[in-house]
Amino acid sequence: MTTTIERPAGAASNRERRRDEASASPLPEPPKARRRWGLFAAMAALVCVGALGNVWFHQASTKAKQVVAARSTIERGTVISRDQLMTVQVGSDPALRPVDASQIENMVGKRAAVDVASGSLLTADVATSKNVPAQGQSLVGVAVTPAMMPGTQLVAGDRIRIVATPAQQALGETATSPVAVAAVVVSTQTGADTTGQGAQTIITVDVPTADAAQLAAIAASGRVAVVLDSRDR
């Protein structure tokens, strides 16, 4: 025997109505992404700056050139050696006329016409091919003890006087004026201590040929003193 259960018509209609309302309600929309205009602008600016930097670097590299500079101090009158020179890269400037790097070997062996500070750019007039000694001049070497020299180091180009210091005069002898010869320092070199009074300095000086013999005789006596008169170049 089959039993039939009838559901109330009102309950069925309520379920259908709730189902229809659920299907009709709109679904929630996903949140919209915010456009970060400030970040985009910063990124664009960074790209522009990088591009401008590349352009500037390219132009600077294109205009730069290799030139000759002093690796160490070069004193006036000294012969320029290769290890005193180096090449550096500088920007092109019409006001500067440095020696091109391709000419570096042409500077070697010449004499410095002026004092050149370490790191300075070399120009064509820094070096000279003029022979030392010149016509009518002679070079004389003079050995001097430390006590008979100025307290400052002599350098090429210094104008000095080499003064004869005779032995002590005997009682009753008339004092005479000391003999002095003017000269220009070409170079200095520390020698050996042969007298026990300290290592002597051998000074090579440039003097007029007419004074060379007298100066050589004074130097041979071993009794000389040096007076520094001027460092004007």
Q: What percent of the chain has pLDDT over 70?
A: 64
Q: Provide the residue range defining the domain that includes 183.
A: 137-167+178-230
Do residues 156 and 190 share a domain? yes
pTM comes to 0.54
Do residues 89 and 144 share a domain? no
- For residue 120, tell me if it sits in a domain: yes
**Element (DSSP H or E) covering residue 75:** none
Backbone φ and ψ for 103, nearest 5 degrees, come out as: -100, 10
Distance CA 226, CA 35 (A): 86
Considering its fold, how many domains does the chain have in total? 2
- For residue 6, tell me if it sits in a domain: no
Do residues 143 and 218 share a domain? yes
Per-residue model confidence as pLDDT tens digits over 102-124: 999 999 988 888 788 899 999 88
Distance CA 182, CA 184 (A): 7
Do residues 118 and 162 share a domain? no
Mean pLDDT check: name the lowest of 91-95, 125-129, 151-155, 228-232.
91-95
CATH code assigned at 122: 3.90.1210.10
- For residue 36, tell me if it sits in a domain: no
What pLDDT score was predicted for residue 13?
58
Do residues 95 and 124 share a domain? yes
Question: What type of residue is 97?
Answer: R
Distance CA 44, CA 47 (A): 5
